[in-house]
Every structure is written in C-alpha cells, then in structure tokens.
Amino acid sequence: MQEIPVYLFLGFLESGKTKFIQETLEDERFDSGERTLLLVLEEGEEEYDHSRFANPSYAVEYLDIGQMTESGLAALVRKYSAERVVVEYNGMCELQKFFDAMPDGWAIAQVMTFFDATTFLTYNKNMRQLVYDKVQYADMVVFNRFRGEYSQEEFHKIIRGMSRRPGIVYEYLGGKAVYDEIVDPLPYDIDAPVIEIADRDYAFFYRDLVEETEKYRGKTVRFKGLVAVDKSMKKGTIVIGRHIMTCCEADIAYSGLVCHHKSDLAFKTRDWVMVTARIDIMYHSIYGQKGPVLSASEIAYCAPPEQELATFY
C-alpha cells in the first residue's frame, strides 16, 4: 500500500491558516511532482486562488467534519489519485476525530498550528482544552499579528506548559518573523549526585524523562510519589508516580515509573513514599517496551505533598 503523507494545518478562524497554505501551494519548492489533495474542513472568509497554485493538478475538496469518514477520505484519494494530502482543519473540533477517520496508509508528515496573537490569551483562558489539542501534536506553532507590547515569555510559557516539542515563531505586524530562542532550564540540577525533585517539579521531571530518556540513564533521583500495585506484579516491584494535569481536569492521568525495591514494607496502592533510586533503561512488561526502571536504594512512607496533583504551573 502506498503511504500518503499528510500535512496538517491547525488553528481557529482568522488565525492565518488559509493564507499560509495558499502561499505554500504557490511555492514551487513544495511542488515536487506529487498529485496533491487539499482537504478543507473549515470554511473561513478567505478563499483559495487555484490559479496561483504552483501545480494546476492540485485538487481542492471542501468537507464538513460530520461528513468525514475513513471510507469517504479513501474515496477522495482514489478520485484524484492523490499522492499526498494537505489538510486545513476545523479549530473547533478535536483532532482525534480526524485521526479516527484516517484511512490505512495515511501518515502524518508535519503539523503546523496557527494562532492569532490578539485573541490567543482569551482562547487559552476560555477554551484551553481545544488550544491544548492543537498544540500537543504540533511541530511548529506560529503566532500571527504579534505586537511589540506583547510578552514573548508569556506566550512561550503557555506553549511550553503544554509541550516542548514545537518550535515557536512570532510573526509581527509588518511581516517580521522572530523564532523563539527562550531557553527553558530544568527546575533541578540534573548533574547532581542525587537529583532532588521537589514536589512542585514532578510534572517537569516526568515529561523530560519520557522525552529524553537516555540522558537519565544511570542517574540517581529522589522524589515523593504515590504507589500503585497490582496482583500481577512480582514481589519487590511497585509503580511510583503522581497524577499530572497537563491542560485541564479532563486530561488528568496517573504517570508512574516501575520501581524495584528490597524493602520489607508492604506497600499498598495510594501509599505515599519518598524514594531514592537509580534510573536504568530497560524493557519491562508493565511498559511493554523499554523504559525508565527505578532501582531503589532507599524507600519509606511519607506524608502527601501539600498539592497532590502535579501540574506545569
């Protein structure tokens, strides 16, 4: 089966998606000969000018979200013999609807998210789940209509609280584009003999450990966590973690690490413990793949932290 690369352009109305896609399809550097289907799942005020596309064979289809099905999308690819797909997605719909409808063989090649800087803070305050939905998979986040009086640090902090994956670009009125180069230091010393993870920093630690696992190989950490156990676990094996809220209450999830220990204490689910442990990277059946496994040198009961829910704020 031929793989169909999919280029996703996300954002709310008037965020600059259509303008960027128009300019992209006009650019001969984007035209490498593939038959391209532009799938528009949101109809804004700005329309596409087909006559200016670099390749006259580019096809455009407008589709309501409610009409989007796996068989329907596959039929469009067959109709136009498309070899790649460009999608302008409806900002008010969660991405999972699109992922669920993707036919076999479609593969996400790139995700770009656009925000109107003049309305972004309001959207983030009132529709944070939808904002997070458009950031978590993004390779690049672009803030259009950025003004000199705006704080790059404020916008940067919101995006980095959701994901460290995307690059960030501030496009100022007048056309000047500035790439975000703000450095985010970790809130703990990763080179310390024992890395002390404060209660407020567990979410940062867990995300960094998952994203850059290898740099923690052989490191020793100390943190407070919530125990989870299961009858299927061998003696001396527990999971230690915290409930993390990335965006809002709907996405709260227990994020834990497998821990081997030699303590005689009978740990139970929902016990709070303080653990000091070396991090090894190895396969474990609980993960079903390689991952960080703690080997505890010290572990003991402790009081819960003042705020049991870990966040990025």
pLDDT by residue (tens digit) across 10-33?
Answer: 999 889 899 999 998 988 888 777
pLDDT at 10: 96
Q: Are 228 and 258 in contact (CB under 8 A)?
A: no
Which strand (E) or helix (H) includes residue 128?
helix 128-135
pLDDT by residue (tens digit) across 116-168?
Answer: 999 999 999 999 999 999 999 999 999 999 999 999 999 998 998 888 889 99
pLDDT at 32: 78
Using pLDDT thresholds of 50, 70 and 90, give the confidence band for residue 98: very high
Phi and psi dihedrals of 112, rounded to 5?
A: -120, 135
Using pLDDT thresholds of 50, 70 and 90, give the confidence band for residue 50: confident
pLDDT at 27: 87
Residue 44 clears pLDDT 70, i.e. is over it: no
Q: Are 13 and 137 in contact (CB under 8 A)?
A: no
Q: What's this model's pTM, rounded to 2 decimal places?
A: 0.74
Using pLDDT thresholds of 50, 70 and 90, give the confidence band for residue 1: low
pLDDT at 174: 83
Tokens for 262, please give them: 């030699």
Q: What is the CA radius of gyration of the chain?
A: 23
Task: Determine what percent of the chain is predicted with pLDDT higher than 70.
Answer: 98
pLDDT by residue (tens digit) across 269-309?
Answer: 999 999 999 999 999 999 999 999 999 999 999 999 999 99
Using pLDDT thresholds of 50, 70 and 90, give the confidence band for residue 92: very high
pLDDT at 249: 74
CB count within 10 Å of CB 148 equals 7
DSSP string, 153-202: HHHHHHHHHH-SSSEEEEEETTS-EEE-------SS-TTSSSEE--GGGH
Listed in sequence order, the residues at least 6 apart from 74 whose beta carbon sits closer than 8 Å to its beta carbon are 103
Which strand (E) or helix (H) includes residue 239?
strand 237-245
